[in-house]
Amino acid sequence: MSDGEPYRPTGREYPQRPIVGVGGLIFKDRSAILVRRAKDPGRGNWSLPGGAVRTGENLARALAREMDEEVGLQVEVGPLVEVVEFIFPDNDGRVAYHYVVLDYLCRAEDGPPRPGSDVSEALYVPPENWPEYKLPAITLRVLNKGIDMLSAWRV
């Protein structure tokens, strides 16, 4: 939370169980869409676009909805790249957030990404610039694995 901004609970803090999420790897050539988070957890940080799966929503539908909400693009959901886990402790060491995220390759319609309400920026970033965005090591691993999977999926 930033200084001067009131606390706004998301309803996902201090979960009894991990929250299932989906993430999308959208590439144009080898550049991937990255988003800057506008809300906690991770406000101000760069990540892959994605979000929580709603009750009763299958993973593909959740991913398509999240890509539309976060980057304004319609996508075709492709193969699973990796399952990752994010655990965010609070200052007392308690688990404030716990997500299990399934990251998929996606094909997007032509056009630039348009940031939605959960993100402040969305843009294509080439691999040589990824380090500038201070992505977690796990995200870099997923991005590199996604690039490796691209050619097989596009056949």
Is residue 58 assigned to a domain? yes
Q: Does residue 6 have a cis peptide bond before it, meaning omega lies within 30 degrees of 0?
A: no
Please name every residue paired with 82 in a beta bridge, in sequence order, or none if there are none: 103
For position 137, which CATH number holds?
A: 3.90.79.10
How many domains, in total, are found in the chain? 1
3-class DSSP assignment, residue 55: coil
Phi and psi angles of residue 138, each rounded to the nearest 5 degrees, phi first: -65, -40
Query: Within 13 Å of residue 50, how many CA atoms lie on the same side as its CB?
Result: 28
Is residue 56 assigned to a domain? yes
Is residue 114 assigned to a domain? yes
Tell me which residue range forms the domain holding 109.
19-153
Alpha helices in the chain, H assignment, sequence order: 59-71, 137-153
pLDDT, tens digit, 9 for 90 and up, residues 83-123: 999 998 999 999 999 999 999 999 998 899 999 989 999 99
Provide the whole-model pTM: 0.88
pLDDT of residue 10: 57
